[in-house]
Amino acid sequence: MPDPHPRSGLGEPRGPSFLPGRPREHTEPLAPPAPPPSHTTHRPPPTRPPRTHRSLAAAVLAAVLAGGLAGYAAGALGDDDPVPASAPAARAPGDLQAVAARVLPSVVSVRADRGQGSGFVFDERGRILTNAHVVEGSSRVSVELQDGRRLTAEVIGDDPAHDVAVLEPETSRGLRAADLATGTRPAVGDTVLAIGSPLGLSGTVTSGIVSALDRSVRLGEGSGGGPRRALQTDASINPGNSGGPLVDDEGRVIGINTAIATLDQNRGGSIGIGFAIPVGDAVEAARTIIDGG
């Protein structure tokens, strides 16, 4: 009997199964307020404080909090470690705006019988990749493009074990395939954008980094297999992002957003831990579906 209150997007919520243990809440104490300025009539000329190791650490921390560094090698900066001269330069906000503008025309909203999610055009024939759990139980779905057009698409097939499905829209006119990063491997700390329709809000873009590689997660009940490897990201993804692309800072798709970890199974939402199917695994599954395998 179908669920009278179907959930959209990431499913039931789609937190993976974890080993015993759960995240701990941690808060940093607030710094004490600065003392009030002196009201003396004579002020000595300002002097530049010496560049101590403490001020260097504060500068590095500020860069990290501003998203300017892509990540560190194993270990931590010690008091006597110099800042690497080859550290990557900060990417200007305008660069990410250009990446989002380039990828958005390839992203679609998907509405199926039991819910709603996202997808993206992945080949020159206009075929669309999404999650199997988004289109579960549907043979035809509705897709909405970024320009507002609505198309009917046939569900060619799905692979629940990899949580991948392929859609064939009624026309490929005006559909542009996204660039796929099938020949490269992302690194922990790489900047990423998650694009899709969380909660039905089409064209939503969030940013973050690759938090971990090859994370072993279960893709939900009835997935047809054991845990699958996934990319972990802190880019905010929520119900409705399912099937949408996770792209690198060159606008290439590195994964399909598919699951989130939650602390409350009754109210699933982003807590900064999301998972994406690596694009190479997704495309391989898609090709098998297309070939009738």
5 catalytic per annotation? no
Alpha carbon 70 to chain centroid distance? 16
Q: Which of 187, 241, 238 is nearest to 214 (CA)?
A: 187
* Annotated catalytic residue, options 106, 138, 242, 270: 242
* Annotated catalytic residue, options 8, 109, 133, 159: 133
Q: Where are the alpha helices (DSSP H) in the chain?
A: 53-65, 93-103, 279-290
| Amino acid, single-letter form, for residue 115 | G
* Annotated catalytic residue, options 123, 158, 163, 190: 163
From the number of C-beta atoms within 10 Å of its C-beta (0-12, 13-18, 19+), residue 31 rates as exposed
* Length, in residues, of the chain: 293
Long-range CB contacts (< 8 A, 24+ apart) of 211-218? 211/273, 212/188, 213/185, 213/186, 213/187, 213/188, 215/275, 217/16, 217/17, 217/259, 217/275, 218/16, 218/17
Q: Strand runs (DSSP E) across the chain, as ranges?
A: 107-111, 116-121, 128-130, 140-144, 150-159, 164-169, 191-196, 204-217, 228-233, 245-248, 253-260, 274-278
Other Cβ atoms less than 10 A from the Cβ of 230: the count is 26
**Residue 161 to residue 173: CA distance in whole angstroms:** 31
From the number of C-beta atoms within 10 Å of its C-beta (0-12, 13-18, 19+), residue 288 rates as middle
Alpha carbon 123 to chain centroid distance? 21
139 catalytic per annotation? no
- The DSSP secondary-structure symbol of 180 reads B
162 catalytic per annotation? no
Report the catalytic residues: 133, 163, 242
